[in-house]
Amino acid sequence: MGIVDDDVARVRELTDLAELVGEHMALKRAGRRFVGLCPFHTEKTPSFSVNPELGVYYCFGCQASGDAITFVREVEHLDFVGAVERLASRVGMTLRYDDSSQGRDRRRAARLAEAVGSAIDFYHRILVDDPAGGEARRYLRSRGFDGDAARRFRLGFAPGSFDALTRHLHRKGFSRDEMITAGLSFTNRAQRLQDQFRDRLMFPIHDSRGEPAGFGGRALVAGAGPKYKNSPETPLYHKSRMLYWLHEAKADIVASGGVVVCEGYTDVMALVLSGVPQAVATCGTAVTDDHVRALTKLARRVTLAYDADSAGQAAAERWYAWEQEHEVEVRVAALPAGRDPAEVWAESPDALRRAIDDAVPFLAFRLNRVLAGADLSTVEGRARAANSAVDVIAQHPSDLVRDQYVMQISGQVGIEPERIRAAVDRIRRQPGGGPARPADRAGPERRNEGVPRAPGAARPGDGRRDRPGGLDATGGFDPAAVDPREADALRFALHDAGYVVDWLAADLFGDPVAREVFEILARTGSAAEALESADGPARSLLQRLAVEEPLVDAEPETVEARLMANLAEPAGRRRAERLVASDRAEEAAEGGRLLDALANARGSGWPAAREPAERLLAWLAAGSQV
């Protein structure tokens, strides 16, 4: 049940993968391909390659691979149907569903998003043009935000009338059920529809795709309920997963490699207006695991722009475990005590930018808190500060980082570093004394946990390249471990078959996955069809080969001779060994003579190897027919 297969294929065909990927990261043309820094793992040298002709990508660092649908699923955290719908909307295509009920569900979700979008327009018009929005406009001006800011962020005002929006949506053709389900109206005690928001400055909230999802509303009338109110949970709005402004900030987050996380909507506005466009905020809730997973797929540097009061500090400390689990660099903005980003911006946008630029590492932030609350003028105060600092330092997983902070604290409290270091070590030796470190629990293989990989893809440092074929110790498959000679021939079969079409055969491949890829190519007749029909390890290998250029380093005849010799020789040795094992010594001897002739000729260069390679190929072909 789902989207009609032909429509899925059409979406892939219509999507320009290089253009799509380029919306999330910087790409540079390299021949017929595009390369850039992988969005799925941290790297300094580009290893992410895109083949727009075949519509596939592959990362040579973490083995992430796939097509446009896979990319959207990973980057925007969507299921398969959601990713196809996202791409279909992007290319202006209407999808068909093979399950009428599922089609109705999707149309209903689109209708709810349309209702929220209409509410955004309604509230925005009142704020910008209607006298009823005067109070909200005055509030914004008091915070330093002018009309241009209100328009840029599509801010709105919910009037005090109990059903102004409801009546507007009814005139637009939305049903009672649609208004309630979208979280825009509710049924009051008199069984009448009433607006969910009244007398509030409205901040529209979109999902990561940019689709309207809900609102955050700030009360402007004293006693009119909580200061901030968010949309209720709906099919579109899930508070624990929503991040305000992410749909707009996403490209800047990817481009800069960092994200700034705030607690308030006006904080995001202040940061964006001060020249920090990669800012987002939670929507009336603390940061959740879902938030962190979404952000760390886009960036590996997270700056917390919380105010420095006790609530902000407590929220920041939860990031310590996430820093270790997701292998991100967490920093804390150097905001003045008791000031949030919007307050700092109102006085000096430059000061806010400096606070972000001067953000300190997470551990330094925690230690600064310890020392700020300590009395370092007395022996007892310095000892208490040292004990508190030791508890914090002991939680860091890196020996080198811990030791640097030991030296720093030693100088600040006047206690020898050896004594502080010993105290840290004692805590870490105690059961539960160190942090719950995912890397310690799972060993070095946890290093790239959460990074998308092709099935069986190699993890850094596992030594798989030293193993025969494409199999690892557990039977998993690594495209990089296929015999490079076989991969070279397949690369030509995929991109420029004229070099191999007349002589390449399945029996020339010793690796079973390489042989399967050849058979798929021979059966389908085109690279695009091969990618569509392959799955498992064969698809992983095809995706890698699709983003690699075949090496045409000489005249065509020389290249063809190289390919022939490089495949014929190992295939000939394999057959000769099988003949010896089967007591067919005479046939094995003939193969040995042909192998020797090829080896001798190859010493004079590839062109000289062509004729003995052809004789060896003929011997192999004759043997396969017996």
Higher pLDDT, 174 or 480: 174
Average pLDDT over residues 481-490: 90
Query: One-letter amino acid identity for 606?
Result: W
Q: Name which of 170-179, 227-236, 411-420, 426-435 the model is least confident about.
A: 426-435
Q: Average pLDDT in the 46-73 region?
A: 90
Same domain membership, residue 59 and residue 112: no
Beta bridge partners, 212, equal 206
Quote the pLDDT of residue 262: 92
Domain holding 335, by residue range, is 243-358
- Cα–Cα distance measured from residue 157 to residue 155, given in angstroms and rounded to the nearest whole number: 7
> pLDDT: is 345 or 54 the higher one?
345
Q: Is 236 part of any domain?
A: no
Q: What share of the chain is helix, strand, coil (3-state, %, to 5)?
A: 55, 10, 35
Q: Does any domain span residue 351?
A: yes
| Cβ atoms of residues 166 and 173 within 8 Å | no
| CATH classification of the domain holding 59 | 3.90.580.10
The b-or-e profile of 119-151 (16+ CB within 10 A means b, else e) is bbbbbbebbbeeebbebbbeebeeebbeeebbe
For residue 446, being part of any structural domain is answered with no
Q: Are residues 607 and 498 in the same domain?
A: yes
Copy the structure tokens of residue 588: 């094995």
Residue 334 has pLDDT above 60, yes or no: yes
DSSP state for residue 335 in the 8-state scheme: P
Q: Which residues of 335-371 are buried (b: 16+ CB within 10 A; e: fewer)?
A: beeebbbbbbbbeebeebbebbeebebbbebbbebbb
DSSP state letter for 503: T
Task: With cut-offs at 50, 70 and 90, classify the pLDDT of residue 391.
Answer: confident
Q: What is the model's pLDDT at position 509?
A: 94
Residue 80 pLDDT > 80:
yes
| pLDDT at residue 94, rounded to an integer | 86
Closest CA to 468 of 431, 504, 511, 514: 511
Q: What is the pLDDT of residue 614?
A: 92
pLDDT surpassing 60 at residue 440: no
Q: Are residues 130 and 21 in the same domain?
A: no
* Cα–Cα distance measured from residue 121 to residue 115, given in angstroms and rounded to the nearest whole number: 10
> 333 pLDDT exceeds 50?
yes
Task: Report the pLDDT value the prediction gives residue 271, as an integer from 0 to 100.
Answer: 97
Residue where one domain finishes, among candidates 306, 334, 358: 358
Q: What is the DSSP string of 17-56?
A: HHHHHHTTS--EEETTEEEE--SSS--SS--EEEETTTTE
Summary mean pLDDT of the chain: 84
Specify the CATH number for the domain of residue 375.
Answer: 1.20.50
- State residue 393's pLDDT score: 86
The residue ranking higher by pLDDT, 134 or 431, is 134
Residues 250 and 226 placed together within one structural domain of the fold: no
129 and 204 both lie in a single domain: yes
Last residue of one domain, picked from the residues 181, 209, 230: 230
Flag whether 324 is in a domain. Answer: yes
Task: Report which of 135, 221, 234 is spatially closest to residue 184, judged by C-alpha positions.
Answer: 234
pLDDT digits (tens, 9 = 90+) for 81-95: 888 988 998 888 888
Confidence of residue 407 (pLDDT cuts 50, 70, 90): very high
| Closest listed residue to residue 21, CA positions, set 10, 33, 5, 7 | 33
Task: Classify 546 as helix, strand or coil.
Answer: helix
pLDDT of residue 102: 60
DSSP string, 549-611: -----S-HHHHHHHHHHHHHHHHHHHHHHHHHHTT-HHHHHHHHHHHHHHHHHHTT-HHHHHH
Residue 181 included in any domain: yes
Domain co-membership, 598 together with 504: yes
Q: Which residue has the higher pLDDT, 53 or 345?
A: 345
pLDDT (0 to 100) of residue 438: 36
Tell me the CATH number at 269.
3.40.1360.10
Q: Kindly state whether residues 532 and 496 are assigned to the same domain.
A: yes
pTM over 0.85: no
* 516 and 593 co-located in one domain: yes
* pLDDT band per the 50, 70, 90 thresholds, residue 256: confident
- 72 with 169, same domain? no
**Average pLDDT value for residue range 362-391:** 86
Q: Is the dihedral of CA 127, 129, 133, 136 positive or negative?
A: positive
195 & 110 share domain: yes
Q: Are residues 616 and 553 in the same domain?
A: yes
- Which of 73, 91, 109 is where one domain is finished? 91
* Highest averaged pLDDT of the listed ranges 96-100, 296-300, 432-436, 489-493: 489-493
pLDDT at 58 over 80: yes
Mean pLDDT score, 329-333: 89
Band of residue 463 on the pLDDT scale cut at 50, 70, 90: very low
Query: Does residue 284 sit in the same domain as residue 219?
Result: no
Assigned domain for 235 exists:
no
Q: Is 455 a domain residue? A: no
**Which one has a higher pLDDT value, 207 or 307?**
207
- On the question of pLDDT at 465 being above 70, the answer is no
Residue 595 lies in a domain: yes
Give residue 307's pLDDT band: very low, low, confident or very high (50, 70, 90): low
Considering its fold, how many domains does the chain have in total? 5
pLDDT of 267 strictly over 50: yes
